[in-house]
Amino acid sequence: MGDYQDNKPFDSMGRRKTWIVAIDALCNPRMRQYEIEYLVRETIKALCGFFDQSKYKCRIELSETYPKHAKDVGSSESKKCNAEGTSVGESSSVRDFQGSIGIATGNWGCGAFGGDLEVKSMIQWLAASEGLRPFIHYYSFGVAAMQKLEEVTRWILQHGWTVSDLWSMLAEYCNQRLSSKTFNGFFDWLLPNN
């Protein structure tokens, strides 16, 4: 209804603080999407799309201070980086965080491309965490398979997992899928009592 007025703030160069990024995904990956080579590929692709280049110096400092990806999945260990937290959803600390740009994403590579929704959501969360984004809003578009996403992210955050912890669990799950040791989705495989 009428002319759209964009009220997003501007950066120091007069650009809107919004980016639209298109990231290609594996097409019809079937079982190869669970191979470590393709997990790495998809994670790197998402990281390249999500990485906040304005925080590059901070990223180097984090790498030196917290080697081997030791920061939490849910929050940055360094206050110098101005990152209050990274989660699927938005915490109150993130809502109050000014000047940061999060990620709005969804079922990347999982529609016509045939990717695993649960695995791809975790890949995107890992990439957003490593890309120093303060939050990620995941839009599942009502897909039933994603009903447990909030429960899974809450469980991971409550247990204080690091990026490395989540990556290790995702890699173990994919190994078990490839060797037919599990046929469950990642969420059911991960959560206790399922």
Interacting residues of 50 by C-beta distance below 8 A, sequence separation 6+: 21, 103, 124, 127, 128, 131, 133
Listed in order, strand segments (DSSP E) in the chain are 103-106, 136-139
Q: How many domains does the chain have?
A: 1
pLDDT (tens digit, 9 = 90+) per residue, 6-48? 888 887 888 787 778 889 999 999 999 999 999 999 999 999 9
On whether residue 144 sits in a domain, the answer given is yes
Neighbouring C-beta atoms of residue 66, cutoff 10 Å? 16
**Predicted structure pTM score:** 0.76
On whether residue 14 sits in a domain, the answer given is no
Distance between CA atoms of 103 and 23, rounded to whole angstroms?
Answer: 13
pLDDT (tens digit, 9 = 90+) per residue, 123-132? 999 999 998 8
On whether residue 140 sits in a domain, the answer given is yes
